[in-house]
Structure 1
């Protein structure tokens, strides 16, 4: 009887086992497996994890399941960078430069109110300021919001009479805006700013003489003053430093000639209302409640504009 010795690959011992290959690169052998799905992964596909390594698909799936960081009022964490505040400041500065260029006169920079510190009117401020219903020249065509120029309710908050007027408002926006944007998030802060500015301009339209024109970001700035008080109170923080600054600004509003009292108070009230909506929205349906509240405020302002327009042009 003859003997047979077993050899690799013969029928007695079976095939030689082969090394597993990467699921993304079949030509690469590997003994490392994804700690989540257990698929073989080569060094190129390995992604560091808290324990072991993961494949690219499991890493992407894990990122999708992680909720993005939100502020206390539902806003995005990107607000900490202050992008909206910086953009608003840049936009106001660019509009001021355009206003000076179009004026072709030194009075656009200085020579107006406050003993010559504030600049005078320019073609751009005349075009975009809050004007109720009047003509630019005697017996000329009528202009203003009642004449259908509703864009003035928005453009007026980006226009200024001279550099001093601009610098005072932009300093306040820089101080208040960064804090509020970080707390509220970019979109909610932008909504607050625009609605407060709109509210101030609507108040100027309602209560100012129909032939007077007003411009300035201070309508929105006063809204930010009210909002930061409401927001800080909601967060349980100290607000003792805010009230004196707000009182000083109100004193200037009532004592300095040429300042739109209605515009400042309108922005203050509207900003406070919008801040209350943002700060006290129920957590379960916060975004829906905030959006609905902002829409209601905007619709009320629109209704007031319609009433005033009917009174002037009806």
Structure 2
């Protein structure tokens, strides 16, 4: 395998899973997928978790997409940001950030349901929460290591603000999922880096 692909294997696997799932749902339902069809293939809705205990939806929802534009935008963003962050964080930390971002995307929305009964009529899906998790991870690095990573975050800051504006402006996009993913990536990276710093201090 080419070294370029080995260095970013997690990102390519994530992209591959999303594409395969989308091809499956396209063959089953067509190019565009309805909310109920999304539920059938693992989309997130808090009621199905609260009453049916279908906890797999916390993860599976991250891999389903509701249309061609939905998956195209997410795969494009994941490709650009994922490759960068996988090289920066290295595989182990990158994998942890990805997993936590997946869970925080859906768990944050579930928490809002438990507290405020919100999201009962919505179905959430897509890898965008993980993308926001990677944005949060880069923000954490920019805060911890300003001289090294702040310029990288500044380069995407305008795009991040635009993405948040779109999340607010378009009701069908899950703002809570994006916020949850970003918080998960941010907090996880802070913790991982603090642990890493302590290990270096002990060794020295």
Give me the whole-angstrom Cα distance separating, in 1, the residues matched to 2:5 and 2:19.
Answer: 21
Q: Which has the higher Rg, Structure 1 or Structure 2?
A: 1
The answer to which structure has the higher helix fraction is: 2
CA contact (8 A) 1:226 1:272 kept: yes
- Structure 1: how far apart are the matches of 2:5 and 2:169? 36
Pairing partner for 2:61 from 135, 156, 165:
156
Normalised TM-score (structure 2)? 0.83
Choose between structure 1 and 2 for higher RCO, CA contacts under 8 A separated by at least 6 residues: 2
> In structure 1, how many angstroms separate the alpha carbons of the residues matched to 2:180 and 2:161?
16
Quote the offset at 1:271 in angstroms.
Answer: 1.2
Corresponding position of 1:285:
199
Partner residue, 1:241:
155
- Number of residues of Structure 1 aligned to a counterpart in Structure 2: 188
User: Do 2:38 and 2:66's aligned partners in 1 also have CA atoms closer than 8 Å?
Assistant: no
Aligned-pair CA distance for 1:83: 0.7
Over 3 Å counting, the alpha-carbon distance change for 1:163 and 1:244 in structure 2 is: same
Unaligned runs of 5+ in 2: 113-117
CA positional deviation for 1:273 = 0.4
- Scaled by the length of structure 1, the TM-score of the pair is 0.55
Report the counterpart of residue 17 of structure 1 in structure 2: none
- Pick the aligned partner of 2:23 from 91, 97, 103: 97
CA contact (8 A) 2:5 2:12 kept: no
Q: Work out whether residues 128 and 151 of structure 1, in 8 Å CA contact, stay in contact via their aligned partners in 2.
A: yes
Q: Tell me what 1:145 maps to.
A: 49
1:125: how far off?
4.2
The one of 269, 273, 290 equivalent to 2:183 is 269
1:215 corresponds in structure 2 to 125
In the alignment, structure 1 segments of 5+ residues that lack a partner are: 1-76, 111-118, 134-143, 287-314
Match of 1:166 in 2: 71
Deviation track 1:203-248 (CA, whole Å, cap 9, x = no partner) reads 2223232232111111111111111122244342313212212111
